[in-house]
Amino acid sequence: MMKKLSIIVLLFVSSSLVWAGSGNVHSLRGDVALDAPATTVTAKEWSVDNGKIVRNYAQQPPLVPHDIEDFSINQEGSDCLGCHNWNSEMPGATKVGISHFLTRDNQALVKISPRRYFCTQCHVPQKDAPALIGNMFKSLAEE
Which residues are at the interface with ligand HEC (CB under 6 A)? 49, 51-52, 59, 61-62, 64-66, 68, 71, 78-84, 90, 92-94, 96-97, 99-100, 112, 115-123
**Minimum CB–partner distance for residue 104 and ligand HEC (Å):** 10
- Please give the angle made by the CA atoms of 58, 69 and 87, to the nearest 5 degrees: 55
Give the alpha-carbon dihedral of 116, 121, 126, 129, to 10 degrees: -170
Q: What is the CA radius of gyration of the chain?
A: 24
CA neighbor of 92 nearest in space, from 83, 101, 102, 104: 83
Q: Which residue lies nearer to ligand HEC by CB, 9 or 62?
A: 62
Q: Which residue lies nearer to ligand HEC by CB, 46 or 116?
A: 116
Q: How far apart are CA 124 and CA 88, in angstroms?
A: 21
Burial label, 119 (beta-carbon count in 10 A; 0-12, 13-18, 19+): buried
**Minimum CB–partner distance for residue 49 and ligand HEC (Å):** 5
**Minimum CB–partner distance for residue 85 and ligand HEC (Å):** 8
Q: Which residue lies nearer to ligand HEC by CB, 33 or 85?
A: 85
**Minimum CB–partner distance for residue 125 and ligand HEC (Å):** 8
Q: Which residue lies nearer to ligand HEC by CB, 44 or 97?
A: 97
